[in-house]
Structure 1
Amino acid sequence: MLLSATDKETLRQLLCDLQRFTLEAILTERTKRSTNELAAITEETAADVIYAIDTIADQAIFKWFEDHWSTEWPVQIIMEGLDDAHTLCFPLGTKIEDTTLKCIIDPIDGTRGIMYDKRSAWILAGIAPQRGSANTLADIEVSAMTEIPTTRQWRADQLSATRGGGMLATAFDIRNDFSQAPVELQPSKANDVQHAFGTICRFFPAGSTLLAQIEEQLWETLYGDSTDGTPLVFNDQYISSGGQFYEILSGHDRFIADIRPIAFRVLDIEENLSAHPYDVCCALILEEAGCILEHPDGSPLNCPLDTTSAVNWVAYANEDLARHIRPALKGVLAKLVP
């Protein structure tokens, strides 16, 4: 199925509406529950642990699709919390062979941070023409991501993009009936990471020693040792792929690499601690903003649209940074994780 520019814009608006509805449901429900209640484990899937706050988002998403999804766009849903063997299509009752679209969703990316009210999480979604099991990340034509703010914040940003149509960024004022206004986001134009943020992800104890060694050797290769002991590069372990994408898009970070599957392979650790396709389903937004998102070997980032595949990804704020860091990263990986 080929999507016209008008089709893609319609779908972009639908994803934005879905995410606003989900955001409002989460903000409403969390006022009624304690931190311990939000952090209660409700399920463990092949991909991740599902917490009580996740089920709030899941239920909101299901309700929105039931109430608002048009029969014009029969769609299959791929979503964290749903096993790959589970088929969910809207309008309800639609057979998978009759769907024309596939929508991949992460209801809450950054659950652990938001359920303890530490840092924003994100609702992520992307839509691709239906190609069955052949669908990959490269097929996504429309993406949207919406911030779930902590209780200390008044603003929730929403970013979206259509392929070839650029990125749109707006912000909700959650104090004022979700009034919405455009915001300006600008990825960094710098050509190095000195005295700035660049991160190799290591969110959990498993694999963190090796990942820290990779990061340390990367910066030593590029910049050597600081002559006065002052750190030359800072890292930020934001436990949310969508949140990390936002940090690149907003100019806060210049380089982020989530290469946990590479490290886990060497260490023989289960890969369910890794990023999955739904975590990177908003890659299109970075591409449309002019950022570089790729595999650690420098090839284009791609993966199946499922819930279990482990994904390695590297994000650079611009092409100059990619040219600067990529060779050193490849060299360090060849040495430490051959």
Structure 2
Amino acid sequence: MDEAQDLVESVRAVHVRIRDAVIDAMVNSTSEEMRLGDGSGGGDTIYGIDRAGEAVLLEMLGMHLEKWLPVVVVAEGLPDIGVGPGTAVLPPGASPSDARFWVIVDPIDGTRGLMYGKRSAWILTGISPIFAGRTPSLRDIEVAVQTEIPHPKQTLADTLWAVRGEGATAIRTDLRTGISSPLPLTPSAADSIGHGFGQVARVFPGGRDVLAAIDDEVCLAVVGPGGPGKGVTFEDQYISTGGQLAELAFGHDRWTADLRPLLTPVLAKRGLPPPQCCHPYDICTALIAEEAGVLVVGPKGPLDHPLTLDDNVTWFGYANESIRALVEPALLAAITAYLGPP
């Protein structure tokens, strides 16, 4: 087994332990305990359910990545040890300059849907080599793994992974038996967005009127209004970037756009704070969707954000080149009309 595939297997083992810890916490804790929020740290608000994953994260990484230590780890909820917010080095006390890999993790992406029993969340991990003199970026990630955390009433869970240049793989595991079976990753081959799912993400208050207007402009420009009483496109507001990427990779969605960072000037004029945005740890598994054939880009081309806790990421995802050719011109025109040039 080569090093990259060995890393995949080790990260998958970490994810299983995190998944099991979170499911156990949901079974053995009250809903109120799981939903208790703390917004005092960097990154997203931390809820009680997040603590269940964070509690075992560093221990499991240290255990299963032992042969590759030291490594730099970036994740929400980590104490600032002087390397940067949400950044740690394993083993403790090691120097970042000696690290072999940069590991960025979101222990639970999709917390809100999971803690209310609405929808699965995902554990996300991206691994990049270390580069002298600079922080690795999303484009540098060579290995990515994402693992579904289902609500306890659900007995099946998916795991997706990719090594750059080697394609993407997925399995579905029966949590009752531990038996896994292959799962195809087949992005939509449709050449239209009609009668398919696609959306501008707008899951939090503040500027949703603008985002909805952009979404409407795109759909009207690409497929028109449809007939009376007819819905010609649909949307799915999944509060999980990893989940959105999985929906594209599985062929469930045809396009997605997360424009939240572009809202900041509009919100400032309204006297509102900047929005909660997608961060690099939320989209650190974009490599999986890309290796499956999905196009994941920013307004100006490939995503190149540093693997830090708080950089804001605007991204577009398209199931295939035909969908991109249809949607992107209308999307960029609508963004420019409502928010200015991206």
Pair in the same fold by TM > 0.5? yes
Cα distance between partner residues in 1 of 2:63 and 2:129: 22
Report the counterpart of residue 55 of structure 2 in structure 1: 59
Mapped partners of 2:334, 2:59: distance in 1: 47
SS at match of 2:51: helix
TM-score (norm 1): 0.94
Conserved 8 A contact 1:190-1:321: yes
Q: 1:270 to 1:144 in 2, by over 3 A?
A: farther
Residue 31 of structure 1 aligns to a residue whose secondary structure is helix
Q: Which residue of 306, 330, 335 corresponds with 1:328?
A: 330
Q: Which residue of 1 aligns with 2:146?
A: 145
Q: CA deviation at 1:336?
A: 1.2
Instruction: Tell me if the contact between 1:102 and 1:130 (Cα under 8 Å) persists in the aligned partners.
Output: yes
Shift of 1:272: 5.3
CA distance in 2, matches of 1:90, 1:71: 11
1:148-163 mapped onto 2 (5 Å cutoff): 148-163=149-164
Task: Report the counterpart of residue 134 of structure 1 in structure 2.
Answer: 135
Quickly say closer, same or farther: Cα 1:193–1:172, change in 2 above 3 A: same
**Counterpart residue number, 1:291:** 294
Instruction: Tell me which residue corresponds to 1:170.
Output: 171
> Shift in Å at residue 103 of structure 1?
0.2
Amino acid of the structure 2 residue aligned with 1:300: P
Partners of 1:121 and 1:190 in 2: how far apart?
27
2:49 partner amino acid: I
SS at match of 1:125: strand
Task: Give the 5 Å matches for 1:1-338.
Answer: 6-82=2-78, 84-85=84-85, 87-131=87-131, 133-176=134-177, 178-268=178-268, 269-271=272-274, 273-297=276-300, 299-338=301-340
> Aligned to 2:180, what secondary structure does the other structure show?
strand
CA distance in 2, matches of 1:211, 1:325: 15
Counterpart of 1:147 in 2: which secondary structure?
A: strand
Cα distance in 2 between the residues matched to 1:79 and 1:316: 27
Quote the offset at 1:116 in angstroms: 0.8
* Rounded Cα–Cα distance in structure 1 between residues aligned with 2:277 and 2:87: 23
Give deviations 1:30-74, integer Å, cap 9, x for gaps: 111111110112452232110111011011212212333224342
Deviation, 1:185, is 2.5
* Pairwise CA distance, 1:212: 0.4
C-alpha contact 2:187 2:248 (8 A) present in aligned 1: yes
Find the aligned partners of 2:335 and 2:238 in 1 and give their Cα distance: 22
SS in 1 for 2:282: helix
How big is the shift at 1:267? 2.1
Structure 2: distance between partners of 1:59 and 1:43: 18
Aligned partners of 1:38 and 1:115 also within 8 Å: yes
What are the Cα deviations for residues 149-184 of structure 1, in whole angstroms up to 9, with x where unaligned? 1233111100000001110101111122x2222112
After TM superposition, give the deviation of residue 100 of structure 1 in Å: 1.3
In the alignment, the residues of structure 2 paired with residue 68 and residue 327 of structure 1 have an alpha-carbon distance, to the nearest angstrom, of: 45
Conservation of the 8 A alpha-carbon contact between 2:4 and 2:143: yes
Whether the aligned pair in 1 keeps the contact of 2:279 and 2:313 (CA below 8 Å) is yes
Q: Hey, what's the Cα distance between the residues in 1 that align with 2:260 and 2:33? A: 30
Cα contact 2:199–2:256 (8 A) shared by 1: yes
Deviation at 1:93, TM superposition (A): 2.5
Deviation of 1:279 (Å): 0.5
Does the aligned pair in 2 maintain the 1:157–1:170 contact within 8 Å?
yes
Q: Which runs of 5+ in 1 are unaligned?
A: none
Amino acid in the other structure paired with 2:283: V
My pick for the range that moved more, 304-313 or 56-65, is 56-65
The residue type paired with residue 298 of structure 2 is H
CA distance in 2, matches of 1:168, 1:277: 22
Residue type matched to 2:244 in 1?
Q
Name the SS for the 2:21 alignment partner.
helix
Structure 2: gaps (5+ residues): none
The structure-2 alpha-carbon separation of the partners of 1:288 and 1:272, relative to structure 1 and needing over 3 Å to count, comes to: same
1:27 to 1:217, Cα distance in 2 relative to 1, 3 A: same
For residues 257 and 86 of structure 2, the distance between their equivalents in structure 1, rounded to whole angstroms, comes to: 31
